[in-house]
Amino acid sequence: MHDPSAVVPGRPAPAEESAPDLREHGAPIRGQAQTLARRLFVQLHVFTGCLGTGSVVDAVQRSGLDAVVYADLNDPRGVGVLLMDEDPTAFAEAGRALLSGPPFSALAPRPDFTMLGRTYASGREPDLADFLLQKVPRNVLSPDYPWAVWYPLRRIGAFNRLPRAEQGKILMEHGMLGRRYGEAGYAVDVRLECHGLDRDDNEFVIGLIGPHLFPLSRLVKDMRATRQTAEFIQAMGPFFVGRVLYQAPFPPVRT
């Protein structure tokens, strides 16, 4: 049988496809490219049936994991546990051991609220390593930010067919609104990609973190008027609203 990939004498060998570039890229510094092959994974698990949060906080604290424990504002028996690690194996091993043992073994998981994503770069970050590895824990582990709203979202396919320049304008409008809230001290945002990681085929996980709850809700409302949300968002939510019960120390321990 003829092998179409075989080299035929007198003809040049077929060009090999280049391997995908899996590095993250930031803004060039003095003409030198910023690249990094590391990123942070973040996972949220939500439980109900928790009659006392002390044992939950104690178990998470003793685990030594980079984690946050939230009281679920919409469920008086609900708690959320946010885990962070560069290696997602930590979620399948140490995280699994924590969340399958006591006191979590007596609680009911709410898988509809499970969210998993990874940090990513847009190509404009002035400090790529800080953005990918430190910004998220610096914000979610800050005692100054006891409130959080977490939710997944998915854009419609038409957005991906737009010219890159038009995509950039749409994302800039969205980003500038978030920046104004950040500069005013009202909210900071966490943006995670979750392509292929989400049960419901969502593309992003968003966290809005801040000192008070109202500005986080107002930011979600104001975002509705941006072109990205008004025209290109197919689905958002469910929304998890949490108040911090425990935050691991920052800076987290990196191994």
| Number of domain units in the chain | 1
What pLDDT was estimated at residue 253?
53
Q: Which residues of 124-153 are buried (b: 16+ CB within 10 A; e: fewer)?
A: ebeebeebbbbbbbebbbbeebbbbbbbbb
* pLDDT mean across residues, the chain: 91
Band of pLDDT at residue 251, cut at 50, 70 and 90: confident
Check pLDDT > 50 for residue 229. yes
What pLDDT was estimated at residue 16?
64
DSSP the chain: ---TTSPPTTSPPPPPPPPP--SEEEEEETTEEEEES---EEEEEEEE--S-SHHHHHHHHHHT-EEEEEEETT-TT-EEEEEEESSTHHHHTHHHHHHHSTTGGGSEE-GGG-EEEE----S--SSHHIIIIIHHHHHHT-TT--EEEEEEEEE-HHHHTS-HHHHHHHHHHHHHHHHHHHHTTS-EEEEEE-TTT-TT---EEEEEEESSHHHHHHHHHHHTTSHHHHHHEEEE---EEEEEEEE--SSPP--
CA 164 to CA 77: how far, in whole Å? 45
Decide if 34 is inside a domain: no
Q: Token digits for 32?
A: 């030198």
End-to-end CA distance of the chain: 52
What pLDDT was estimated at residue 21?
94
Q: What's the pLDDT tens digit per position in 169-217?
A: 888 887 889 899 999 999 999 999 999 999 999 999 999 999 999 999 9
Decide if 45 is inside a domain: yes
Decide if 97 is inside a domain: yes
Residues 243 and 173 sit within 8 Å (Cβ to Cβ): no
Of these ranges, 17-26, 185-194, 226-235, the one predicted with the greatest mean pLDDT is 185-194
Question: What does pTM read for this prediction?
Answer: 0.89
Band of pLDDT at residue 5, cut at 50, 70 and 90: very low
Range of the domain at 228: 41-246
What pLDDT was estimated at residue 11?
53
Decide if 2 is inside a domain: no
Q: What's the pLDDT tens digit per position in 137-153?
A: 999 999 999 999 999 99
What pLDDT was estimated at residue 196?
96
Decide if 141 is inside a domain: yes
Q: What CATH number corresponds to the domain at position 108?
A: 3.30.70.1030
Check pLDDT > 60 for residue 2. no
Check pLDDT > 50 for residue 8. no
Q: Which residues contact 58 (CB under 8 A, 6 or more apart)?
A: none
Decide if 5 is inside a domain: no
Decide if 112 is inside a domain: yes
Decide if 74 is inside a domain: yes
Which amino acid is located at 142 in the chain?
Answer: S
Band of pLDDT at residue 1, cut at 50, 70 and 90: very low
Check pLDDT > 80 for residue 9. no
What pLDDT was estimated at residue 178?
87
Share of the chain above pLDDT 90, in %: 76
Residues 243 and 78 sit within 8 Å (Cβ to Cβ): no
Check pLDDT > 50 for residue 7. no
What pLDDT was estimated at residue 10?
52
